[in-house]
Structure 1
């Protein structure tokens, strides 16, 4: 193949003449036929009709998808429950780490005070013979009294918060009891009136 003109770096090559050789030893005449670049198979780009085919899901993929659909409500429930429980767990962990740090470097006279509070609880347990209610109330009461002697500020704060919560619960229970007692009387009164005036 003989090229007549070619310019390197040209954006488009012009048509050129191609000399084709005949069969070897045939004695035929050489023919010349002008060809363009588009007619040569080397430069012609084949038409590409590409389509993306979705691969078929295998048995394992189908089983995993089915399992995920079945487990989705439970995982949502677990994540919601975990979000509710997480702050409480963090508070417990923080309390444990604070208690451990306090026991590593305790304040002055911590162990003697703890010993006296524990002894008061054991004394309450010893004095509470015969009744399960006494076994709950006496040790807790003796320990609370002895702890309040050593830590009066904390005892006052706890007593105040406990008193407020007890007062609120007493008011709520009184309102609920009053509502329960008033409703049956009003129903009976309405029933009596309906019986008297048909």
Structure 2
């Protein structure tokens, strides 16, 4: 009955082991590399999804153009000719005309061929323009309101 160990002290407290210098450096290295690998993985997923979407779009376009609906080619011709007419009309104009005429006439050709879709696009664009104009108005008004309050004080 000889005890090998002595009796533990009555007031003992647990002290957690502090990490050493090598352990701290490895932890810092792992966290830095972890952030880098996370960024690389998200970039890889983004690029992979973009490539897969592009491949699928190409396959769908190939299938669609192999068996186009009967009204597709005349509509495409009207849209193309209207865009080319805009290019011809703007050939000796300013830069604005060289952009606005082809874009505008192509839009007119599209709206002639696809009136229902044109109405939807016009409504959505109108709502977005209205929202943007309200935001611009409020921003300018707040700038003027701040200047007026400063001058009155």
Match of 2:98 among 125, 135, 149: 135
Q: For 1:73-92, list aligned pairs within 5 A.
A: 73-81=35-43
- Equivalence for 1:10: none
1:130 deviates by 2.4
Alpha-carbon distance in structure 2 between the residues aligned to 1:86 and 1:159: 34
Among residues 67, 80, 84, which one is paired with 1:122 in the alignment? 84
Larger radius of gyration: 1
Residue of structure 2 aligned with 1:102, choices 64, 70, 73: 64
Q: Using CA pairs below 8 Å that are at least 6 residues apart, which structure has the higher relative contact order?
A: 2
Structure with greater proportional helix content? 2
Unaligned runs of 5+ in 1: 1-65, 191-198
DSSP 3-state at the match of 1:156: helix
Matched pairs, number: 126
Counterparts of 1:165 and 1:89, CA distance in 2: 30
Per-residue CA distance 1:92-133 (angstroms, 9 max, x = gap): 555444333321221112112212211111110111122111
* 1:181–1:99 Cα change, 3 Å: farther
State the alpha-carbon separation in 2 of the partners of residues 83 and 177 from structure 1: 41
Structure 2 unmatched runs, 5+ = 1-27
Aligned-pair CA distance for 1:78 = 3.3
- Equivalent of residue 148 in structure 1, options 77, 97, 111: 111
Confirm whether residue 169 of structure 1 aligns to residue 111 of structure 2: no
- If the length of structure 2 is used for normalisation, what is the TM-score? 0.67
User: As a proportion of its length, which structure holds more strand?
Assistant: 1
Q: Which of the residues 131, 135, 146 maps onto 1:183?
A: 146
Equivalent of 2:73 in 105, 111, 115: 111
